Amino acid sequence: MTAPSSWPRVEGIAYGGDYNPEQWPREVWLEDVRLMREAGVTLVSVGIFSWAMLEPREGEYDFSWLDDIIGLLHENGISVDLGTPSVSPPAWFFHQYPDARVTDARGTVMGFGSRGMASHASPEYREAIARMAGVLAERYGDHPAVVMWHIHNEYGVPVGEDFGPRAVTAWQQWLKERYSTLDGLNAAWGTAFWGQRYGEWEHVVAPAATPTVANPAMKLDWARFTDDQLRACFTIERDAIRAHAAQPITTNFMAHQSWNVDLWKWAELVDVVSDDHYLWSPDPDAHVLLSLAADLTRSVAGGKPWILMEHSTSAVNWQGRNIAKRAGEMRRNSLTHLGRGADAILFFQWRASRSGAEKFHSAMLPHAGTDTRLWREVVGLGSDLARLGDVKGSQVEAEVAVLYDWESLWAHELEWRPSDDLQFRERMRAHYERLWRDNVTVDFVHPSRHDLSRYKLVVAPSSYLMTAESAAALTEYVAQGGTLLVDAFAAAVDEHDAVHPGGFMAPLKDALGVTCDEYLPLREGDSAQIVMDDGTALDFDVWAEDLHLHGAEAIATYRGGPADGAPAVTRHAHGEGHGWYLSTRLSTDALADIYARVYADAWITPAGYPEGVEVIARSGDDEDFVVVVNHLDEDVRLPLRGTDMLTDHASAGDLTVTAGGAAVLRTPVMEPGGDA
User: Footprint of its own copies on residues 351-380 (CB under 8 A)?
Assistant: 352-360, 362, 366-369, 371-374
Query: Within positions 558 to 597, which residues make up the interface with its own copies, using CB under 8 A?
Result: 562
φ, ψ at 32 (rounded to 5°): -55, -55
Bridge-based pairing of strands 577-582 and 567-574 is antiparallel
* Contact status: 603 vs its own copies (CB under 8 A): no
CB of 524 to its own copies, least distance (A): 6
Residue 642 β-bridge partners: 651
- How many residues touch its own copies under the rule CB under 8 A: the total is 124
194 interacts with its own copies by CB under 8 A: yes
Q: Which of 99-118 are b and which e, b meaning 16 or more Cβ less than 10 Å from the residue's Cβ?
A: bbbbbeeeeeebebeeebbb
Q: Which of residues 611-640 bind its own copies (CB under 8 A)?
A: none
Report how far Cα 192 is from the mean position of its chain's Cα atoms.
37
**198 lies in the binding site for its own copies (CB under 8 A):** yes
Q: Work out which of 99, 228, 390, 546 binds its own copies, going by CB under 8 A.
A: 546
| Nearer residue to its own copies within complex by CB, 17 or 90 | 90
Least distance from its own copies to the Cβ atom of residue 131, Å: 16
Q: Does 92 bind its own copies (CB under 8 A)?
A: yes
- Least distance (Å) between residue 323 CB and its own copies: 6
310 is catalytic: yes
Indicate which single residue of 11, 38, 268, 415 sits in contact with its own copies (rule: CB under 8 A).
415
Site membership for its own copies, residue 660 (CB under 8 A): no
**Exposed e or buried b per residue across 315-344, where buried means at least 16 C-beta atoms within 10 angstroms of its C-beta:** bbeeeeebbebeebbbbbbbbbbbbbbbbb
444 binds its own copies (CB under 8 A): no
Phi, psi dihedral angles at 23 (to 5 degrees):
-85, 0
Nearest CB to its own copies, comparing residues 305 and 521: 521
Report the residue number, 211 or 674, with the smaller CB distance to its own copies. 211
Taking the alpha carbons of 519, 522, 523, 525 in that order, is the dihedral positive or negative? negative
Binding flag, residue 102, its own copies (CB under 8 A):
yes
Identify whether 553 is a catalytic site residue: no
443, 447, 453, 458: CA torsion to nearest 10: 60
Least distance in angstroms from the C-beta of 55 to its own copies:
10
Nearest CB to its own copies, comparing residues 138 and 421: 421
Residue 569 CA to its chain's centroid (Å): 30
Site for its own copies contains 158 (CB under 8 A)? yes
What DSSP character marks residue 469?
A: H
Q: Measure the CA–CA gap between 399 and 604, rounded to whole angstroms.
A: 8
Catalytic residue among 55, 237, 310, 407: 310
The stretch near its own copies (CB under 8 A) out of 45-53, 301-309, 532-540, 611-619 is 45-53
Shortest Å distance, C-beta 506 to its own copies: 9
Residues 159, 165, 169: CA angle, nearest 5 degrees: 100
Any contact of residue 605 with its own copies (CB under 8 A)? no
Q: Is 184 in the site for its own copies (CB under 8 A)?
A: no
Q: Which stretch binds its own copies (CB under 8 A): 19-27, 224-232, 334-342, 647-655?
A: 19-27
84 vs 441, beta carbon nearer its own copies: 84
196 binds its own copies (CB under 8 A): yes
CA distances from 93 to 61, 65, 168, 536 (A): 14, 21, 21, 65
Query: What is the three-state SS of 322-370?
Result: CCCCCCCHHHHHHHHHHHCCEEEEEECCCECCCCCCCCCCCCCECCCCC
Q: Confirm if 521 and 542 have CB atoms less than 8 A apart.
A: yes
- Residue 190 binds its own copies (CB under 8 A): yes
Considering beta carbons, is residue 193 or 603 the nearer one to its own copies? 193
Show contacts with its own copies in window 517-536 (CB under 8 A). Answer: 517-524
Q: Which of 154, 329, 377, 476 is an active site residue?
A: 154
Q: Do 273 and 31 touch, CB atoms closer than 8 A?
A: no
Four-CA torsion 291, 295, 301, 307, nearest 10 degrees: 20
User: In this chain, which stretch among 18-26, 272-280, 298-306, 660-668 interacts with its own copies, using CB under 8 A?
Assistant: 18-26
Output the smallest distance, CB 373 to its own copies, in A. 7
- Alpha-carbon Rg for the chain, nearest whole angstrom, is 26
Residue 295 · residue 444 · CB < 8 Å? yes
CA distances from 27 to 31, 352, 636 (A): 7, 16, 47
User: What residues numbered 495-514 form the site for its own copies, per CB under 8 A?
Assistant: 496-499, 501-504
Residues 317-356 that bind its own copies (CB under 8 A): 317-318, 320-324, 326, 352-356
Tell me the catalytic residues: 154, 310
